[in-house]
Structure 1
């Protein structure tokens, strides 16, 4: 049922069903009109012949001559309704229903309250109507088939263009801002513009505009980070020359935070421009996990369910895991664990969990919700570096509470 509903939801099927229903309705209407018209004409001609034969038989009966073949008084097989009509003094015709062969009866009054009747062979008329019905059915089926094929071909051309536009839209939403539909109709203003071309052109324009804005933001971020780097280096050197004391510690701490933020911005700008290159080597995940935990200086439990060796960039992998561990301690609550289960590495804390927007859409730079502290750039960098590694980084919340970040290196 799910497959049927999914299939019937397509525009091609709906168009095919609409064309079929309309063709069947039109064929039924025209076929009925033709059938009724020809049947009335055929029956009318047979009735006229029967009445003419009845007139001849009546004249012969009144003159005492021999009645023509097929005529007689009170003939056997004469329909009861027609006999009653003739005995009452009227003339009429009727197609017999009990005869072995199709027969057109005509009857009129005779002397003594009897019925003078004639019968005319109606087989040719019946064969004509039957042949016409078969021709109507055959031509209707052929017309429906041809129309359905032509309509399906025309609709398929439109739906193929719509599918192409939808694929480009999905690529753009996935981050490929270079994707374009490049519909020939939209690119050539001299050609007639249909609705699909209008949608494709609008999508290409939107992608170009979005790409331009993002490139401007990326250049701005990179320029700001580069401009901050030089004065921060001077501030760091000056802070080292200050006399020991609490104010000096505060200055050095803030300068270090600014330097870290600047380096993070530079790293994000490199990730945005996709200029990063991998240095692939065989690494054992358990060793990397233990090294990351030791370097973080945090109380993080390392659980090794199954250790494996993977081909990846050790430095970038350590960067991703380090950011995940730091985020768990900064925004979650202890205990924090790092689990290695084959190529799957998970970092879990027991805090309030990730915000709903982060689970659904991924980390967003400096975003905060509900007045709470945001997640900064750590998770954004982790997600970008995971993409460079060709790994998949997912974010979820545990059923019993806490945030779970999963890095799959498959």
Structure 2
């Protein structure tokens, strides 16, 4: 029954959109258990005290009826208070036992929870002498005081249990929250983070086992990723020499269409090998930015004009930034190449402060790229298909990370456009940092070594 009630409460909270923390769940559970235990103990103590008082009252009534019997048999007179001969109000059950020749006591409940105490004894002349008394006021007061003390104690137990639950739950919740933050940092690529160390604490419990398991899993994944990166880099490095030789040999072939096809494929293979090597270096987290102060709008306008004069560059707000010009150019060219390959003209570049936007008017980025970010060897959906190996945006994101910048992607939609209709363009946004990324080990370039 209680389990069904808890499920109903949890379902109601979920439907209402209420997210309860661990500390409050533990507090509520401890308070509920404490309340049940306090109520049960209060009932047991109350009943035990009441039964004990009634037994004492019955013993007292029995002693008094014996004294009254002796006085009556010696003097022949009724001189003891609250005693009667053949009382018509005598309970039938007590009368039957006395008529059977037994001295007995009896407790009769009446409205108000104040019991009547009866005692009766058979006389030699065949009559029945009985004594009728009620529960004493003093006993009633003692029982009421006991009930009040039990109520106060129960409330104290519930409040104390709730406070204890908040403390225990808060401690456990803080540890789990720290573990979650560390796990998110691991997922974000901070490989030196250890969940167990982030949690801290002296006492070892199940959360430490969970943290150790997460650290072990992260170490295993890190080792596998590093092994895959090394294999990829080694393969690309070994392919560089034969591909260079193939390109050199193709250039020696006699002019003609077959030679052009061979040269085109050989150059594409060399580009692929160089891109794979660059991705491997970026994944290895060993790259460092060479910082230099530049005027961002002027830099972007000159580089884009040299790359593709047909691309429109709009400088909304000029800004001086400290960044790596070579890597910034690499990111910019990769975004332009992706827009030209997968999107549709016109392609627009906008510089606003420290933000660079590259927009095309094609069908937009695929949903998996918007949700997960760039991924190597994924060229996009069939609606945004084209030639390439899916490494351009991956390299752009990696180079942005080295510069301390952030690269985001979104599609352009007119407000109210249904989701099943294609987008009206794709926008890649490069957010350069306000301060130079010195925490990545980057270093400034010497004066005069500009672009």
The TM-score bracket by the shorter chain reads: 0.7 to 0.9
| C-alpha deviation, 1:28, in angstroms | 0.9
Aligned to 1:353: 364
CA distance in 2, matches of 1:385, 1:148: 52
Q: 1:85 aligns with which of 77, 89, 101?
A: 89
CA distance in 2, matches of 1:383, 1:370: 19
Match of 2:289, SS state, is coil
Correspondences of 1:158-169 after superposition (within 5 Å): 159=173, 161-169=175-183
Aligned to 2:405: 391
CA distance in 2, matches of 1:130, 1:366: 81
Q: 1:377 aligns with which of 386, 391, 404?
A: 391
Match of 2:357, SS state, is strand
Aligned to 1:232: 243
The range that moved more, 255-264 or 358-367, is 255-264
Q: Structure 2 regions of 5+ residues with no counterpart?
A: 1-12, 96-105, 121-128, 198-203, 415-422, 434-451
Aligned to 2:123: none
| C-alpha deviation, 1:291, in angstroms | 2.2
Match of 2:210, SS state, is helix
Q: What is the TM-score when the length of structure 1 is the normalising length?
A: 0.78
Q: Does 1:25 align with 2:30?
A: no
CA distance in 1, matches of 2:117, 2:320: 99
| C-alpha deviation, 1:388, in angstroms | 0.8
CA distance in 1, matches of 2:92, 2:110: 20
> Is contact 2:83–2:131 with CA below 8 Å preserved after alignment?
yes
| C-alpha deviation, 1:13, in angstroms | 2.5
Return closer, same or farther for 1:85/1:241 CA change in 2, 3 Å cut-off. Answer: same
Aligned to 2:432: 409
Cα deviation 1:354-387 (Å, max 9, x = unaligned): 1111110111110256664466211000000111
Q: 1:330 aligns with which of 331, 335, 341?
A: 341
CA distance in 1, matches of 2:91, 2:398: 103
Q: 1:262 aligns with which of 235, 260, 273?
A: 273
> Is contact 2:57–2:117 with CA below 8 Å preserved after alignment?
no
Return closer, same or farther for 1:289/1:85 CA change in 2, 3 Å cut-off. Answer: farther
CA distance in 2, matches of 1:297, 1:220: 36
Correspondences of 1:6-405 after superposition (within 5 Å): 8=20, 10-50=21-61, 53=64, 65=77, 67-68=79-80, 71=82, 85-86=89-90, 119=133, 122-141=136-155, 143-144=157-158, 159=173, 161-182=175-196, 195-297=206-308, 299-368=310-379, 372-373=385-386, 376-400=390-414, 401=423, 402-405=425-428
Match of 2:408, SS state, is strand
| C-alpha deviation, 1:224, in angstroms | 2.2
Return closer, same or farther for 1:117/1:96 CA change in 2, 3 Å cut-off. Answer: farther
CA distance in 1, matches of 2:93, 2:183: 84
The range that moved more, 263-272 or 352-361, is 263-272
Match of 1:85, SS state, is coil
| C-alpha deviation, 1:205, in angstroms | 3.1
| C-alpha deviation, 1:261, in angstroms | 1.8
| C-alpha deviation, 1:274, in angstroms | 1.5
CA distance in 2, matches of 1:130, 1:312: 81
> Is contact 1:335–1:350 with CA below 8 Å preserved after alignment?
yes
Cα deviation 1:62-89 (Å, max 9, x = unaligned): 96746445x488xxxxxxxxx9835999
> Is contact 1:50–1:120 with CA below 8 Å preserved after alignment?
no
The range that moved more, 330-339 or 237-246, is 237-246
| C-alpha deviation, 1:21, in angstroms | 0.9
CA distance in 2, matches of 1:88, 1:390: 97
Q: Structure 1 regions of 5+ residues with no counterpart?
A: 74-82, 109-114, 184-192
CA distance in 2, matches of 1:119, 1:284: 105
Cα deviation 1:9-53 (Å, max 9, x = unaligned): x33332222122112111211211121121122134334535654
CA distance in 1, matches of 2:242, 2:91: 126
> How many residues matched?
388
| C-alpha deviation, 1:173, in angstroms | 1.9
> Is contact 2:366–2:381 with CA below 8 Å preserved after alignment?
no
Return closer, same or farther for 1:56/1:230 CA change in 2, 3 Å cut-off. Answer: same
| C-alpha deviation, 1:118, in angstroms | 5.2
> Is contact 1:104–1:122 with CA below 8 Å preserved after alignment?
no
> Is contact 2:196–2:208 with CA below 8 Å preserved after alignment?
no
